Amino acid sequence: MAKPYQRWKVLPHGELKRIDDRILTVVGRIRMPLGTLPRRMTVVRLRDSRLVIWSAIALDEGEMAMIEAFGVPAFLIVPNDHHRLDAKTWKERYPRMQVVAPRGSRAKVEEVVRVDTTAPLFDDPDVQFKAVPGTNDREAALIVRTRIGTTLVLNDLVGNIRDETGIGGWFLRLTRFAGDHAQIPSPVKLTMIKDAAALCTQLRQWAELASLKRILVSHGEPIEANPQQTLLELAGSLA
């Protein structure tokens, strides 16, 4: 695991995009031993214009100004203890933010930054934080409902990298972070999933969301073509 950054460090990243009335997202790249890994930050605007920052990434000043124009950063979600890299510097930049982490990851996250809560109160019924069942509360998810539809924000639970090449791409395919379809990565199955039946039930429940429009994952492309079916297939892979 890479060491968390002690200063604001902007790494290569794509364009900050608005994909819904209340959602911004951006994909950065982080260097790994065998190549680079894409990682996604998602920004959700609550009804009162406060912002929920999911899996924070440091951006250029112009892009940070775009985020601040979108709303007021209020919640910093560290969705598991592998996504701590930029947490300290975001908290230093916005000291009034509440730091949020799932209960099972709290101790590791607090090695970097103090966690304020494992059960955030957004005061917005359209945005729900949830520790993912079957992961010993180590992995979090976010459900965001807007007039356009529902977005399910996941973290390491699903890999959907499609365009990696070379030895790095080979390794990501080997570990199932990359491939021709969305998958539960092998390291996640080995180290994070402790109750496959509970996770399977949760995936099937999410698949019943008739309004589900997309799934955003931290590592890979958004899942927008029949996300309900994708969830059912992921559940089936746990059987």
Q: Tell whether the model's pLDDT for residue 34 goes beyond 70.
A: no
* Tens of pLDDT, residues 163-196: 777 888 888 888 888 888 999 999 999 999 999 9
Whether residue 3 is contained in a domain is answered as no
Mean pLDDT of 209-228: 96
Mean pLDDT of 33-37: 76
* Tens of pLDDT, residues 8-23: 999 999 999 999 999 9
Lowest-confidence segment of 91-95, 102-106, 154-158, 161-165 by average pLDDT: 161-165
Largest CA distance in the chain: 47
* Tens of pLDDT, residues 111-143: 999 999 999 999 999 999 999 999 999 999 999
Q: Which of 4-8, 32-36, 52-56 has the highest mean pLDDT?
A: 52-56
- What is the domain-level CATH number for residue 173? 3.60.15.10
Whether residue 190 is contained in a domain is answered as yes
Mean pLDDT of 100-116: 97
Whether residue 198 is contained in a domain is answered as yes
pLDDT the model gives residue 194? 95
> pTM for this structure?
0.95
The pLDDT confidence band at residue 213, using thresholds 50, 70 and 90, is: very high
The pLDDT confidence band at residue 239, using thresholds 50, 70 and 90, is: confident
DSSP string, the chain: -PPPPSS--PPPB---EEEETTEEEEEEEEEETTEEEEEEEEEEE-TTSEEEEES-----HHHHHHHHHH-EEEEEE--STT--TTHHHHHHHSTTSEEE--GGGHHHHTTTS---BSS---S-TTEEEEEPTTTTT-SEEEEEE-SS-EEEE--TT-EEB----HHHHHHHHHTTSBSSS-B--HHHHHHT-S-HHHHHHHHHHHHT-TTEEEEE-SEE--B-SSHHHHHHHHHHTT-
Mean pLDDT of 189-217: 96
Share of the chain above pLDDT 90, in %: 86
Whether residue 2 is contained in a domain is answered as no
Q: Tell whether the model's pLDDT for residue 3 goes beyond 90.
A: no
**Structural domain count of the chain:** 1
Whether residue 134 is contained in a domain is answered as yes
pLDDT the model gives residue 1? 58
Whether residue 127 is contained in a domain is answered as yes
* Tens of pLDDT, residues 47-82: 999 999 999 999 999 999 999 999 999 999 999 999
* Tens of pLDDT, residues 144-162: 999 999 999 999 999 998 8
Q: Which residues span the domain enclosing 106?
A: 17-236
* Long-range pairs, 136-139, Cβ under 8 A, ≥24: 136/104, 136/192, 136/194, 137/102, 137/103, 137/104, 137/105, 138/80, 138/81, 138/102, 138/104, 138/105, 138/192, 139/79, 139/80, 139/102, 139/104, 139/105, 139/192
